[in-house]
């Protein structure tokens, strides 16, 4: 099995304090450091992670998502997930972490909701 790649594209949200990270590829032991660097680099009040192109995550990837969530919560910021594939959602449900995250079906829904309500 070849090394899977993760790409991260950064976009501004509709509000000054929103950032959107569009992730493409799995979040695994191989790609988690790249994911963590990308998330750690952002200081926006609201970060939206678009996972619609993330086919799967492993336990290390799940740990990285949870660590990002905890970091945002500790600093009073908001982390939102969008576009969860069934396989990713299943891992989050089985491990009982799905309820920690605010999720939306699409990034646009999240952008609109967070712009209208501020941070969660």
- pLDDT recorded at residue 41: 87
Would you say residue 37 lies in a domain?
yes
Would you say residue 10 lies in a domain?
no
Structural domain count of the chain:
1
- pLDDT recorded at residue 119: 46
- pLDDT recorded at residue 120: 47
- Supply the range of the domain harboring residue 99: 23-117
Alpha-carbon gap, residue 17 to 39, rounded angstroms: 15
- pLDDT recorded at residue 28: 96
Indicate the pTM of the whole model: 0.91
Strand order in the sheet with 46-53: 7-12, 18-24, 46-53, 78-82, 102-104
Would you say residue 6 lies in a domain?
no
Would you say residue 40 lies in a domain?
yes
Q: Domain of 70: which CATH number?
A: 3.30.750.24
CA pseudo-torsion sign 27, 19, 78, 40: positive
pLDDT in tens, the chain (120 residues): 456 799 999 998 887 889 999 999 999 999 999 999 999 988 899 999 999 999 999 999 999 999 999 999 999 999 999 999 999 999 999 999 999 999 999 999 999 888 776 544
């Amino acid at each position: 099995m070849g090394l899977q790649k993760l790409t991260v594209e950064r976009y501004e949200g509709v509000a000054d304090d929103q950032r959107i990270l569009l992730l493409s590829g799995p979040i695994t032991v191989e790609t988690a450091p790249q994911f963590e660097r990308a998330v750690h680099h952002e200081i926006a009040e609201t970060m939206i992670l678009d996972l619609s192109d993330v086919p799967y995550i492993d336990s290390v990837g799940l740990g990285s998502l949870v660590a990002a969530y905890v970091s945002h919560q500790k600093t009073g910021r908001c982390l939102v997930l969008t576009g969860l594939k069934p396989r990713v959602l299943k891992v989050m449900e089985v491990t009982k972490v799905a309820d920690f995250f605010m999720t939306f079906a699409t990034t646009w829904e999240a952008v609109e909701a967070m712009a209208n309500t501020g941070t969660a």
